[in-house]
Structure 1
């Protein structure tokens, strides 16, 4: 096992930087969160006084000791910051969306390959409790061949929140770019590339400046796959429906890690990522029908894999080609919604 410690730079310290990345990096001995870009605030130092401050992206990237950069900024900046980080010889992890178009994503992947650097997207939802549970049920053939899969990630925000960049129009704005990458990635992990894509992308809330609803159908010859998200769902507890040739699985409630991290609990706490019983899914088969205990979620394997890929040359868990296919689906979803057509993948 290597004793090397990777120095990390975070660009941005909002929700993603503060509550997702910083806690996991802080308790993982193979990383040192060395420097954070905050243009005027000092919230990183409130989290950990040993973290250094950078007032600009250029200041952080000029630090030759930084090995890997996590980009946690508004969506319209991801491509430019990632490109600049790669040009400065840094490995790169990009918050979703990885890029706003497949063409931009491909440019970054090709540049990283030229520079012999690691680049990946932050797909932490692969390590959610519910998704790990679904993968285990499928691996065990508990439900047989899956013939219908529906996944939702809804919220109730009836009034557009004008005080956040996520509710502003512009490049990378809107719900499809915000939550779409997670839902699409999970479906592609389970079922692989589709034959075709069709979608509805809409603005449902009065006064909204963004798309706040999407429904993407991934077309496969042997199953129905639908991923949806809306910001106007009062009862937003529903997450998954799976029907197979041997049974069904229905799931409500979100993985607990985000809410735990927001309570300033670090991910070295024990137990970690265990769902309360009222969030466990319902499994129905000939062998058993009833509540099925969820596996614990844990995002730490994502970070361990980043280390192993950079230091030990191991394969990325979230591979560049997987990032590219997710951005392609989102591109096709936009086009399908505009043109009201089904598009070949």
Structure 2
């Protein structure tokens, strides 16, 4: 493999255009060579030097492509990942990696047989708020953690005639596969495998044809862990509530990177990922409250680690074990919601 990784993107919607393309463009370790998309004008507008092709097959047939990012609709992820691996390409799959643990295991096994790397894109591990949470926990400011709650909400009313694919009913649609993987991956990254899963997954918005609300409790013997998300929350406060034997930490607001990427800003600016003060969290302990400056968010480490995994053989940041564990929790959340029971991991 060349020292500069030749990259192909499948899909050029929100994920491909606004999350991956900017970071691949500014990173000299990668060259975004080709995009398979139904939006040729968007590709050319972003960078006229990128080759556009109309089909995934055309992209995969290019022997110079080392690495493929699957950024297409959820239900196509497994099929495109399988095809890319069969063409001896390394693969990064947008969340959700797969729609079941069984499918995830099959893709991971195929990658191993092919001698290729496959991983999942879990960029929210590098959000400012989550990095700050990790710092607070590492410093022991809360004592022994007793309760961890995270919300990730949006306000997205839906019209009856919406044509957005994310609002169409079908396999792999709904909030569990959209914001759910972010929340669950963060919790699993912090605390590991749970003992039990209890979930409520439902639709709450007028005219909604997909599940748009989730409330999932991960059972651990020493702490309460709860993740929630709704598409019908206008004010996104608070996001994180952590309580321990010595104090509490409360934080609101969303990481700034997505909003800046959507404004067509490139992530090589000097102030990239710095949160404004009104999004900083507050630590409560010892009879006082202290506003804590947030860590700086930046998704670049995901790509740097990906390069090192491909070229130098280091472990990918999102491991096969991480991928299978998350897929299993999602399966169990569906089972729990359908049966209205707490299920064992």
Q: What TM-score does the superposition give when structure 2 sets the normalisation length?
A: 0.97
Q: How does 1:124-135 map to 2 (within 5 A)?
A: 124-135=123-134
8 Å Cα contact 1:237/1:254 also seen in 2: no
Residues in 2 aligned to 1:32 and 1:144: alpha-carbon distance in whole angstroms: 45
Residues in 1 aligned to 2:12 and 2:206: alpha-carbon distance in whole angstroms: 31
The residue that corresponds to 1:140 in the other structure is: 139
- How far off its partner does 1:159 sit? 2.6
Residues in 2 aligned to 1:277 and 1:343: alpha-carbon distance in whole angstroms: 41
8 Å Cα contact 1:147/1:243 also seen in 2: yes
State the Cα deviation string for residues 125-154 of structure 1 (Å, max 9, x = none): 000000000101111111111100000011
Aligned length: 344
User: Which 10-residue stretch deviates more, 113-122 or 229-238?
Assistant: 229-238
State the Cα deviation string for residues 194-237 of structure 1 (Å, max 9, x = none): 00101000111222110010100000011100000011112223
- How far off its partner does 1:42 sit? 2.6
SS at match of 1:49: coil
Residues in 1 aligned to 2:297 and 2:287: alpha-carbon distance in whole angstroms: 26
Residues in 2 aligned to 1:103 and 1:16: alpha-carbon distance in whole angstroms: 25
8 Å Cα contact 1:85/1:91 also seen in 2: yes
Q: Gaps spanning 5+ residues in structure 1: where?
A: none
Q: How does 1:1-345 map to 2 (within 5 A)?
A: 4-39=3-38, 41-160=40-159, 162-286=162-286, 289-345=289-345
- How far off its partner does 1:3 sit? 7.4
| C-alpha RMSD of the superposition | 1.3
8 Å Cα contact 2:127/2:255 also seen in 1: yes
SS at match of 2:241: strand
8 Å Cα contact 2:12/2:39 also seen in 1: no
User: Which 10-residue stretch deviates more, 258-267 or 214-223?
Assistant: 258-267
Residues in 1 aligned to 2:62 and 2:40: alpha-carbon distance in whole angstroms: 20
SS at match of 1:42: helix
SS at match of 2:116: coil
8 Å Cα contact 1:42/1:53 also seen in 2: no
Q: What TM-score does the superposition give when structure 1 sets the normalisation length?
A: 0.97
Residues in 2 aligned to 1:40 and 1:165: alpha-carbon distance in whole angstroms: 15
Residues in 2 aligned to 1:322 and 1:288: alpha-carbon distance in whole angstroms: 38
- How far off its partner does 1:54 sit? 1.1
Residues in 1 aligned to 2:342 and 2:293: alpha-carbon distance in whole angstroms: 38
Change (3 A) 1:287 1:67: farther
State the Cα deviation string for residues 239-296 of structure 1 (Å, max 9, x = none): 1000011111001000000011111111111011000000000111228522110011
Residues in 2 aligned to 1:27 and 1:144: alpha-carbon distance in whole angstroms: 40
Residues in 2 aligned to 1:310 and 1:169: alpha-carbon distance in whole angstroms: 37
8 Å Cα contact 2:128/2:294 also seen in 1: yes
